[in-house]
Structure 1
Amino acid sequence: MSYFVTGATGFIGRHLVEELVDHREGEIFVLVRAGSLGRIQTLLRRWGSDRVVPVVGDLSSPGLGVDPDWVAEHAGSIEHFFHLAAIYDMTADDATNEAMNVGGTRHALELAEELGAGCFHQVSSVAAAGEYAGRFTEDMFAEGQHLPSPYHRTKYESERIVREEAEVPWRVYRPAIVVGHSETGAMDKVDGPYYFFPLMKLMRDSLPGWLPLVGVDLGDTNVVPVDYVAKAMDHLAHVPDLDGQAFHLVNPEPQPVVEMINAFCGAAGAPRFATPVDRRYAAPLALVPRRLRPLTVLNSLLKNPGVQSALDLVTSRFGVPAEVLGHTSFTAVFDSRATEKALAGSGIGVPDLESYARTLWGYWEEYLDDSVGRDADARATLKDKYVVITGASSGIGQVTALKVAQAGGIPVLVARGKDKLEETRADIELRGGKALVYPCDLSDLEAIDALCEQLTADLPSVDFVVNNAGRSIRRSLKLSHDRFHDFERTMQLNYFGAIRLVIGLIPAMRASGGGHVVNVSSIGVQTNPPRFSAYIASKAALDAWSNVVSSELIGEGITFTGIHMPLVRTPMIAPTKIYDKFPTISPAQAADLLIKAMVDRPHEINTMLGNAGAIAHTVAPKLAFRVLNMAYHVFPDSAAAKGATAEGGARESEQIMLARVFKGVHW
């Protein structure tokens, strides 16, 4: 059994190929433009299978432009032909939609018929239902529905071509709005609800999370994660006797738009919206003709070209195309009973959005938020500059590398694990950037010396050094009497390793006319929370060293920034389970601070709470230590610190209260 897949480098296509590799046998031929052969090689390495074979062709050519000799050789051997290559974009123009969605489908069907494919699997969309009002079942298609945009029209037309013109068996799949992977958050572009994420980010950064905002009922929407879509398609394609049917890959329970927005606002830490009038209590609206209802009138206005042009002047500043606003909700309710019946017993289902909203938000914030790339100052500062980043295989360092590359810089990735560094480099290269990988154990001083020699020899300049790699230990002194190595380990990596790297790279910075060093320190240096004596002492030592040598090197153009970082949600804090319920900042928020440090080059970046803690220790040290002692008794030692399997203490409400009052402090 062999497969042919168009759109394999696209979002849904990549995940479908992964499902086929993991669960099916036989060769998987994937259509690739000649100019995309480099990109497919990266994906081939990720799929890790020699059964995936690129076939050069083009969606815009008859028969997809595949070599006739190849077609003759493989005729009769392709059991499943999946056609996913298309435009999935409400903002695309009419000509592009027509060429890709309609012309591409016709050409794919031509090739499938030449190959004598066992079944042609067309990936359509619920957009084919247009503005149908009411329940739209899977056996419905031509219902006289209004198709309000080029996207809707071409999705309908491409499905019609398959239904009416296919000479091979066919199946149609109609996904709802497809969002990222429910487990990894992986997404390849801004679409659907992602258009509103920059606005949510602005709300998070500008308003307190507890502030209630007034919203309005915007109707219902329907979103599904890409892993559900890929798994469902793979399963449905292999269930016998389903040819000639369409399948709604949707959430059986549509989500109110406001609930969806609030799920993402909650994940972002932004304020949520409350609707003062619940739809359950708005029964009189049912007596009003649909075309005169407030939501219908609002959507009609939003689809008006003149209104869109006026709105676009405002909404485009937040990355929201005005034409998207009129398509935030569905007039149809998509019945998926046939799909659910065919999936019964497979274990494949749509997860609740609340369960993976934070995962989607985190991925967008780390990989898709292009605010750094659009920032003129960031691009002017970082373009073509070499930025050495330690701890670049995960967390803050990894996200910083992605943002540096987005601004045109060249991140030099340093960490102990080469495989993870290579994954980060692949992510950067897939987005058109460039990165260099230098594995190094930064607790080994001789290895650091060798790294500095290599970097000096390989790089034309060393423009920035980001000391991000670090080790944190949370353990009280009473549990540390026989663990002096805790203090040695933190000093070795956080202090000696960091300054050894900087000292080794100073000649290269001096030779290129200067450079900037960013040290990721801790809010604990200002607030002195209990149980972190080993960790905070090492960070304080790095601060003190940097403060002294700054006066010696500033005349040579070499400067330092110390960031007293609040608590960040990274793998480093995972062993301390009480942190799971604490307010933290995300790795992307921390990376934004590092970018700010490189662009503005301040001597320090602090939080208001950190500054307040430093002032308290100066003005009223005895009171400050009394408060910290209270916290010492409220927060227990972690299970890891005790060598136990569970954390002690039953004062969770007090812990959470203190954590929220002193947001960002390491307890």
Structure 2
Amino acid sequence: MSSFVTGATGFIGRFLVSELVDHREGPIFVLVRQSSIHRMETLIQQWTAGSTKTKVIPVVGDLSQPGLGVDPAWVAEHANKIEHFFHLAAIYDMTADDATNDAMNVDGTRYALELAEALDVKCFHQVSSVAAAGDYHGRFDESMFDEGQPLPSPYHRTKYESEKIVREESKVPWRVYRPAIVVGHSETGAMDKIDGPYYFFPLIKRMRDNLPSWLPLVGIDLGDTNLVPVDYVAKAMDHIAHLPDRNGEAFHLVNPEPQSTIEMINSFCAAAGAPRFATPIDRSLTAGATGLLPSALRPNRIFNALVRTAPAHLILDQTLGRAGIPAEVVGHSSFSAVFDSKATTKALAGSGIDVPDLESYARALWSFWEENLDDSTAKDKKTRSALKGKHVVITGASSGIGKVTALKVAQAGGIPVLVARGKDKLEETKATIELRGGQAHVFPCDLSDLRAIDDLCERLSSELPSVDFVVNNAGRSIRRSLKLSHDRFHDFERTMQLNYFGAIRLIMGLMPKLHEQRSGHIVNISSIGVQTNPPRFSAYVASKAALDAWSNVVASEVVGHGISFTNIHMPLVRTPMIAPTKMYDKFPTLSPAQAADLVIKAMVEKPHEINTLAGNAGAVAHTFAPKAAFRVLNLAYQVFPDSAAAKAKTGPTEAAPEVAPAPEAGTEGAGGRESEQILMARLFPGVHW
């Protein structure tokens, strides 16, 4: 069973090819421009890693050429040998102009069909879109196509016309797939471009960073939208394409339950920690009244018609446009049609493939955007000026804060030098950076081994032209009360070994290089605990306090050579370090991207310290009212009990991960105590309880 795929390097295409590799046998031919061969080879390695039954073979061609520009000799050799031809190459962009839409969506489909007919494939699979329904009002089922619907944009028009070409001109059997708005992977959040709801993310980020999350905002009921994750679309297409006796049908790859646009936005606001919108009048109260109005006079239709006018576009471009939201997106943020997907539901019955609720994966989408697609770092001139071409050594760069910091450094034109124990994860991060046009270096090292650090410093000093920044991010956290630590002195030894001795060994090893350069800036990821002294973190806080004190002393000795330090008293961050402590899921936390933004700020502005309001309040309380401060902390000690994991008796030989998880909080916090815990967490946000 062989397949041919256009648009394999595109978003949906990459995931479809992955599904074909995992579930089908036989060669998969993928169309690729000559200039993109290198990128395709990288993708092929990712698709086929560990697979021996399927081969992915590039075929050089061009979507803009008749027959896709494929060599006639290749066509003759493979005629009658390809069963499935998947045509995904197209423009999926509401803001694209007429010429681009026509060339990619209409002409591209006609040329793909030419090639499929020359190959005499068994079935041509056309990836259309629900946009083909245009501004149809009412229920639009999978048997419907030409219903006289208005086509309000070049995107809608060309999606309709390309599907019409397949329906009316194809000489081979066909199937059509109409996805709704396709967003990132429901588990990883992976996405490759800004489109659809992603245009609203920068505005949500601004709200998150400048407004309290509890502040209610007034929203407008913009009607219903429809989102589906890319993994659902790819799995559904693969499954339906290989079902017998379904030729000549269309399938709606949509959420069977339409999603309110305002609820969709609020899901992402909740994931980001931003304030949410409330609609003053519930649509259930107005549905009856508006239902009596002629369709042309209903509020949603009037609103959508207005925002698509030239004057409205001008106003939107000068308002929302400045926040990165194109006017075209506002005008098409909701659907007038309700997409019936009974045929798709029936075709997928028993496969286990269905659409997850947006609430279950909104955080994954937001986190991936914030860590990978948010380009605010690249747009900041001051940041680019400070980091462009600079070598930034980052420890603990395999995940969490370190990884996201590396991505942001590369985005600003810097060269991250990735240091951690796991080489494979570092190589993955390096590959990601290089695919985006950046540069990175990988230096694996066990930072709990002082001799290994010495070797690392020697290599960094000799192999890099400069060491401009050092970010001491790798760390170990242990949450355990003193009463449970009497036979666990190794807890204190291990935290000091990595958090203190490892960090200063690295700095001292690089000091000759920094003195030679007469420049260099060290950023230490310290902890809010140094300022607040939370109970049960004596081993962790002591190690971070030691690093703070050492850096403060050394800073005065080396400042004359242009060497400086910043200590970031980092609040609680949602990283692998805290993931096992489930009570933290309900606490206010920074995302890794927010923490990485603080690291970028430390490198650009080079302040002596970066603190939070809660951390400063804790430091002031300990200075001016120490007895009261310890009373409050003792209350927290009673409210947050030791966990079952902390009480476990484990010996000094247990493994020492580079980033050790804080233990689970156990079940003692159930009921009323849980509400006390959440109250404490909100009163003192970011503190490690």
> So what's the TM-score if we normalise by structure 2?
0.95
Larger mean Cα displacement after TM superposition, 146-155 or 279-288: 279-288
Q: Give the deviation of 1:648 after TM superposition.
A: 4.4
What count of residue pairs does the alignment treat as equivalent? 667
Tell me the secondary structure at the aligned position of residue 156 of structure 2.
Answer: helix
Structure 1 pair 548/646, CA: closer, same or farther in 2 (3 Å)? closer
Match of 2:74 in 1: 70
Q: Post-superposition, which runs of at least 4 consecutive aligned residues in structure 1 deviate over 6 A?
A: none
Q: Give the deviation of 1:452 after TM superposition.
A: 1.1
Tell me the secondary structure at the aligned position of residue 438 of structure 1.
Answer: strand
- Residues 399-478 of structure 1 mapped to structure 2, 5 A cutoff: 399-478=404-483
Q: Give the deviation of 1:421 after TM superposition.
A: 0.6
Match of 1:661 in 2: 683
Tell me the secondary structure at the aligned position of residue 13 of structure 1.
Answer: helix
CA distance in 1, matches of 2:603, 2:318: 31
AA paired with 2:568? I
Tell me the secondary structure at the aligned position of residue 343 of structure 2.
Answer: helix
Match of 1:515 in 2: 520
- Residues 468-507 of structure 1 mapped to structure 2, 5 A cutoff: 468-507=473-512
Matched, 1:146 2:150: yes
AA paired with 1:554? V
CA distance in 2, matches of 1:143, 1:177: 21
CA distance in 1, matches of 2:560, 2:593: 33
CA distance in 1, matches of 2:559, 2:88: 57
Q: Extract unaligned runs of 5+ from structure 2.
A: 650-663
CA distance in 2, matches of 1:639, 1:239: 50
CA distance in 2, matches of 1:81, 1:512: 59
**Identity value in percent:** 76
Matched, 1:538 2:543: yes
Match of 2:206 in 1: 202
Q: Extract unaligned runs of 5+ from structure 1.
A: none
Q: Give the deviation of 1:646 after TM superposition.
A: 7.5
Match of 1:565 in 2: 570
Match of 1:137 in 2: 141
CA distance in 2, matches of 1:317, 1:433: 27
CA distance in 2, matches of 1:230, 1:94: 28
Q: Give the deviation of 1:328 after TM superposition.
A: 0.5
Match of 1:173 in 2: 177
Match of 2:653 in 1: none
Match of 1:95 in 2: 99
Q: Give the deviation of 1:288 after TM superposition.
A: 1.9
CA distance in 2, matches of 1:119, 1:511: 67
Match of 1:61 in 2: 65
CA distance in 1, matches of 2:684, 2:129: 48
Tell me the secondary structure at the aligned position of residue 333 of structure 1.
Answer: strand
Asked if the contact 1:42–1:426 (Cα under 8 Å) also holds between the matched residues in 2, the reply is no
CA distance in 1, matches of 2:309, 2:594: 37
Q: Give the deviation of 1:503 after TM superposition.
A: 1.3
Match of 2:652 in 1: none
Match of 1:240 in 2: 244
Q: Give the deviation of 1:555 after TM superposition.
A: 1.1
Match of 2:42 in 1: 42
AA paired with 2:605? D
Larger mean Cα displacement after TM superposition, 643-652 or 279-288: 643-652
Asked if the contact 2:641–2:665 (Cα under 8 Å) also holds between the matched residues in 1, the reply is no
Matched, 1:647 2:666: yes
Q: Give the deviation of 1:638 after TM superposition.
A: 2.3
Match of 2:661 in 1: none
Matched, 1:551 2:556: yes
Tell me the secondary structure at the aligned position of residue 176 of structure 2.
Answer: strand
CA distance in 1, matches of 2:665, 2:624: 38
Asked if the contact 1:637–1:648 (Cα under 8 Å) also holds between the matched residues in 2, the reply is no
Q: Give the deviation of 1:67 after TM superposition.
A: 1.6
Tell me the secondary structure at the aligned position of residue 638 of structure 2.
Answer: helix
AA paired with 2:250? A
Larger mean Cα displacement after TM superposition, 396-405 or 640-649: 640-649
CA distance in 2, matches of 1:288, 1:465: 65
Asked if the contact 1:203–1:270 (Cα under 8 Å) also holds between the matched residues in 2, the reply is yes
Match of 1:111 among 112, 115, 128: 115
CA distance in 2, matches of 1:414, 1:43: 25
- Residues 207-222 of structure 1 mapped to structure 2, 5 A cutoff: 207-222=211-226
CA distance in 1, matches of 2:644, 2:74: 61
Larger mean Cα displacement after TM superposition, 70-79 or 188-197: 70-79
Match of 2:162 in 1: 158
Q: Give the deviation of 1:507 after TM superposition.
A: 2.2
AA paired with 1:659? A
Q: Give the deviation of 1:502 after TM superposition.
A: 1.1
CA distance in 2, matches of 1:127, 1:226: 17
Q: Give the deviation of 1:285 after TM superposition.
A: 1.4
Matched, 1:631 2:653: no
CA distance in 2, matches of 1:616, 1:465: 32
CA deviation string 1:612-663 (max 9, x = no partner): 0000000011111111011011101123211289714242111111111111
Match of 1:330 among 312, 323, 335: 335
CA distance in 2, matches of 1:40, 1:589: 33
Match of 2:191 in 1: 187
Q: Give the deviation of 1:295 after TM superposition.
A: 2.0
Q: Give the deviation of 1:358 after TM superposition.
A: 0.9
CA distance in 2, matches of 1:21, 1:578: 40
CA distance in 1, matches of 2:274, 2:512: 45
Matched, 1:9 2:9: yes
Tell me the secondary structure at the aligned position of residue 572 of structure 1.
Answer: coil
- Residues 257-276 of structure 1 mapped to structure 2, 5 A cutoff: 257-276=261-280
AA paired with 2:363? R
CA deviation string 1:238-259 (max 9, x = no partner): 1100001000000000001011
CA deviation string 1:587-628 (max 9, x = no partner): 011001001111111110000010000000000111111110
Match of 1:606 in 2: 611
Asked if the contact 1:391–1:398 (Cα under 8 Å) also holds between the matched residues in 2, the reply is yes
- Give the RMSD, CA atoms, in angstroms: 1.2
Matched, 1:618 2:637: no
